[in-house]
Amino acid sequence: MKKLFLMAFMAICAVSANAQVWVGGNLGYDYDSNFGGQKVHALSISPEVGYNLSDKWAIACNLDYTFGKIVDGASVNTFTINPYVRYTFAKTGIASFFVDGGIEGGFQKVEDLDATGIVGVGIQPGVALQISKKVCLVTKLGYLGYRHTDDRDQFGIGVNNETISFGAYYAF
């Protein structure tokens, strides 16, 4: 029994020795001049925290809040939580190439209407540039997945202004 506990303790120490925590996120602004025939301004903030399990694997969670305002109309508030797993498949110099696979859940509230639920699952490739030991710039490009909101089902693959993001991480 003592050997089992000693082996488990050594395994946890080995994983923790290579692990590091990061915090960061994204800020975004979007203007859509033809959203159902209306103009929409949207501002989003997406804080994120993650934990490197090894050189290849990490786990993280992203909280996303978006405030949108239809010009001469209603406001839209969206909140989602997105836990995910990151697999880094290639590294060269300061660049790392990865794919994030995760789920999302949350809600969207349009002024004077009931809140609607959001559920989704998907993958998103990206690139990280390690500019110092502690700071990393990250971009995610594209999305493949499924999303359900209220009575809308979306399945798709592609790159557009909603699936490209830029952010920064600070590692501890």
| 35 alpha-carbon distance from chain centroid | 24
Distance (Å, rounded) from C-alpha 48 to C-alpha 61? 6
- Answer whether residue 124 is part of any domain: yes
Q: Name 171's Cβ contacts closer than 8 Å, sequence gap at least 6.
A: 20, 21, 22, 133, 134, 135, 136
- Answer whether residue 103 is part of any domain: yes
Q: What is the pTM of this model?
A: 0.80
Are the beta carbons of 83 and 102 closer than 8 angstroms? Answer: yes
- Answer whether residue 15 is part of any domain: no
| 22 alpha-carbon distance from chain centroid | 13
* pLDDT tens string 127-163: 999 999 999 999 988 889 998 887 778 887 866 666 7
Q: Which domain holds residue 101?
A: 21-171
- Answer whether residue 3 is part of any domain: no
- Answer whether residue 59 is part of any domain: yes
- Amino acid 129 reads L
Does residue 112 have a pLDDT over 70? yes
Q: Which CATH number covers residue 37?
A: 2.40.160.20
- Answer whether residue 153 is part of any domain: yes
> What is the domain count for the chain?
1
